[in-house]
Amino acid sequence: MPIAELVSLVSPAGTARTDGIENRRLAPYLMLALAVAGIADAVYVAHASYTGQPLWCPIVEGCNTVVNSPYARVFGVPMAYFGFVYYLYMFALASLLAFDPLSRVLRFRAILYAGMGAASSMYFMYLQLRFIPEGMCIYCLISAVTTFLLLIVALWHFRATRIDATTAAATKPTPAKHGCPAALGGPS
């Protein structure tokens, strides 16, 4: 092994680098935290929408204008309900990733659904800025930022586990072909 590779494997403190392992372990927990933040945001807006109570708008005025606009409902259902279901799904997906970080299906779904959430957030932020100029919803902005952070963390997790997953697949033991029945990979 060349000296440059050995040096790159050791951190400045002289301990072995574990960036991939750390990222692989950390990313699902970051996704869990972001999903919990998204659930809290969606529950607050959904509760206000359901009860008819006005939202508290601490930074930017116009939360209630946006939430009560016709663009805040799809088929009569408030967008906050869809957000709640989305974040609940992302929470479940991140929980599964914490137990099986190398699962190809879970990693793909994390990127797929986080990407769909980010695209939806971009579309709804466009609607908010274009058609409701008198109001800006801080909770919608929090949801959009949370969704984009979920996408970034899902991509980060995929990148951190990509090499590990291919290595794990390449080092899987194959059944011996000597004296095994054909169903187990032996000669037929």
What pLDDT band is residue 166 in, cutting at 50, 70 and 90? low
What pLDDT band is residue 134 in, cutting at 50, 70 and 90? confident
Give the CATH architecture of domain 19-166: Up-down Bundle (1.20)
Identify any residues that bridge with 73 across adjacent strands, giving them in sequence order.
78
Report pLDDT for 174. Answer: 55
pLDDT digits (tens, 9 = 90+) for 77-108: 999 999 999 999 999 999 999 999 999 999 99
- Cα gap 43→35, rounded to integer Å: 12
Under 8 Å between Cβ of 145 and 137: no
Closest CA to 32 of 101, 118, 80: 101
Under 8 Å between Cβ of 14 and 122: no
Domain boundaries, the chain: 19-166
Which range is least confidently modeled, 30-34, 59-63, 68-72, 171-175? 171-175
pTM (global) more than 0.95: no
What DSSP element (H or E) covers 78?
Answer: strand 77-78
pLDDT digits (tens, 9 = 90+) for 6-48: 334 333 343 334 455 665 678 999 999 999 999 999 999 999 9
Rounded to whole angstroms, the maximal C-alpha distance in the chain is 77
Q: Please, which residues have CB within 8 angstroms of residue 79's CB and are 6 or more apart in sequence?
A: 72, 73, 124
Which range is least confidently modeled, 51-55, 132-136, 166-170? 166-170
